[in-house]
Amino acid sequence: MNYLIRNAIALFSEQHPSATDIRIADGRITEIGCQLTPTTDYPEQIIDARGCVIYPGLVNTHHHLAQSILKGIPGGINQGLGDWLASVPYRFWPHITPDLMYHAARLGLYELLRSGATTCADHHYLYHRDTSPELEDAVWQAADDLGIRLVLCRGSATEQGSHKGMARGGVVPESLDQVMSRMEHSRTRYHQEDGNAMRKLVAAPTSLIHSSSPQSLKTIAEWAGQHRIRRHSHLLEVDYDEQQSLQKYGMKAIDYAADCGWLGPDVWFAHLVKADDYAIRKLAATGTGIAHCPTSNCRLGSGVAPVIELQQAGAPISIGVDGSASSESGSMLQELNLTWLLHRAVHGPDATHLETVLHWGSRDGARLLGLNDLGEIAVGQAADLVLYDIHKPRFAGVHTPLMAPLLCAEPTSVKHSFINGKLVVRDGQVKGLDEAELVASVQASVNTLLARVS
């Protein structure tokens, strides 16, 4: 289906700041302007965008979809990262079956779609010695069923090491041979290299410092380089990372990452809350990026990542929602809004600009993921577009309508959403998903999980 979107209040496009209309053909944006008329060259459907502003689809660069059924676990609500890992994700995830994983993934992806995200990078780390391949397959299947773009960041751990969650959960890690053979299987089955790919694989050890040997990191990095696979992990989320790196390897965490070949323009790290000036300079010099996850960092009391300093140094910035077990949310719009607010609280009112934050959450995130054909409203780009309905009481008094969704944040209303030119949200409803069935399936999944753990 080809589409002509007409009569928007405004759209976020630096090349076409006054435009109101967008034409989509064969999954791409082919024309942008005002008062565009239907073409006679081929059939196209008219989408009335009155009352809406249009953003490029938001790009979430760090998630843990499995945690969508682990919100508000009582034992972890007031714990910091180390204890929380043992009390929440690593207590439950060895008991998550492919069926539970499928429903958790659908819930997480639904939350992303209804907030305006069109791409999800899921750091999926539910792998151990006896993991069934169906567990990973369930994530791919959920993304296919909802039509969302998925970058699966394939987690791994080759030793328990100093990882508190793994040690207390009794998780038996994979061997390096298992990691490599399973990852190669996923690459040949799922990975696409196109700039508008619907499926991408990323090599993503769960932790560089705590559960990966230097040799495993070097082997994975070499494999990723051979296959043009990007790399991702957690780093410097809390002080414990730096302490353990100094104790185990006799060097700072950022130097350990460099020594193992884990810095570069094809690498990005989640959090980096504790990155000091030295680490910031090395990240920027190597083009290594960040997935900034402000809600989770606040929720766990980890701190505020030095995003402004990273930006000023020239490091790539992107935004992630992290797992719902440490944020109770899967909304990209919430993350953008909190990013805009949080750094102004720390650095002053000129620290973050709305347009910059929106770029971090769309174009810049897409570039970090190697999706160079999306993230902007421009002719030739893949048609990943979100129409936010701001003809609602919540937005009625806003004097900057284009920025109303980011300024006001949740609750928001996505009227329509396109991914590669396909409608995945229509009239506020996620296609291919029955909300009542989803709620029932998730609630049944939670009950099943609690019975398994107890």
Q: How far is CA 127 from CA 158, 173, 260, 331, 409, in A?
A: 10, 8, 22, 26, 35
Q: Which of 287, 264, 204, 271 is nearest to 237 (CA)?
A: 271
- Residue pLDDT, tens place only, 79-128: 999 899 989 998 998 889 999 999 999 999 999 999 999 999 999 999 98
Whether the Cβ atoms of residue 51 and residue 413 lie closer than 8 Å to each other = no
In the chain, domain spans: 3-56+382-430, 58-368
Assign a CATH topology to domain 3-56+382-430.
Urease, subunit C; domain 1 (2.30.40)
Q: Are strands 28-33 and 21-25 parallel, antiparallel or unpaired?
A: antiparallel
CA–CA gap between residue 179 and residue 454 (Å, rounded): 30
> What sign does the dihedral 128-132-135-136 (CA atoms) show?
positive
Q: How far is CA 333 from CA 305, 357, 414, 423, in A?
A: 18, 11, 11, 20
- Residue pLDDT, tens place only, 313-368: 999 999 999 999 999 999 999 999 999 999 999 999 999 999 999 999 999 999 99
- Residue pLDDT, tens place only, 135-152: 999 999 999 999 999 999
CATH of 58-368, one of 3.40.1190.20, 1.10.10.10, 3.20.20.370, 3.20.20.140: 3.20.20.140
Tokens 């953008």 correspond to: 336
For the segment 406-414, the average pLDDT, to the nearest whole number, is 95
Please give the model's pTM, rounded to 2 decimal places: 0.96
- Residue pLDDT, tens place only, 33-52: 999 999 988 899 999 999 99
Share of the chain above pLDDT 90, in %: 91
Phi, psi torsion values for 3, nearest 5 degrees:
-135, 150
Question: Is residue 445 pLDDT above 70, yes or no?
Answer: yes
**Segments of 134-266 assigned E as strands:** 149-154, 199-203, 230-235
CA–CA gap between residue 209 and residue 243 (Å, rounded): 10
